[in-house]
Amino acid sequence: MTIDKRSVLVVDDDPEIRKLLVTALDRMGFTVSQAADGKTAMKRLDERRPSLLCIDLMLPESSGYDVCEHVKKTPTLNGLPILMVSARTMPEDRAQAEELGVRVYLSKPFTQTELKTAVAQALEGNSP
């Protein structure tokens, strides 16, 4: 498996949110790939490990939780930093995400500054 340094896989079914995230992460110096559903995300993760997974919770095909579970169970993805970006703000959503290895949970809508901070927090302790 190839590991991409300074790369992010953005997974969101909303094309506008995906575009916003891709543009912002590109400006931060990341190489960005994207997927619109959980099934495609898992396929991309199995082909190439990014340095960060930025994922929505509510996705077609497989949920963000399903993708996080896949990451947790796949040895080659062990320790992959996950930033969950979701409109769901219930404490139980955050708790379940944390159980599945999500480092940072960013609520939609968010500002560019909040996104930068969340990315930095998610990558904390990882070499670039």
Its pTM surpasses 0.75: yes
CA 123 to CA 51: how far, in whole Å? 8
Per-residue pLDDT of the chain (128 residues; tens, 9 = 90+): 445 568 999 999 999 999 999 999 999 999 999 999 999 999 999 999 999 999 999 999 999 999 999 999 999 998 999 999 999 889 999 999 999 999 999 999 999 999 999 999 999 866 44
pLDDT at position 1: 46
Report the sign of the C-alpha dihedral through residues 73, 76, 79, 80, in that order. negative
Phi, psi of 36 (to 5 degrees): -100, -5
Residue 45 domain flag: yes
Count of residues for the chain?
128
Residue 24 domain flag: yes
Residue 57 domain flag: yes
Residue 101 domain flag: yes
Phi, psi of 107 (to 5 degrees): -85, 140
CA 73 to mean position of chain CA atoms: 16
Q: Which amino acid is at 109?
A: P
pLDDT at position 128: 43
Residue 126 domain flag: no
pLDDT at position 126: 65
The domain tally of the chain equals: 1
Answer yes or no: are the C-beta atoms of 82 and 122 closer than 8 Å: yes
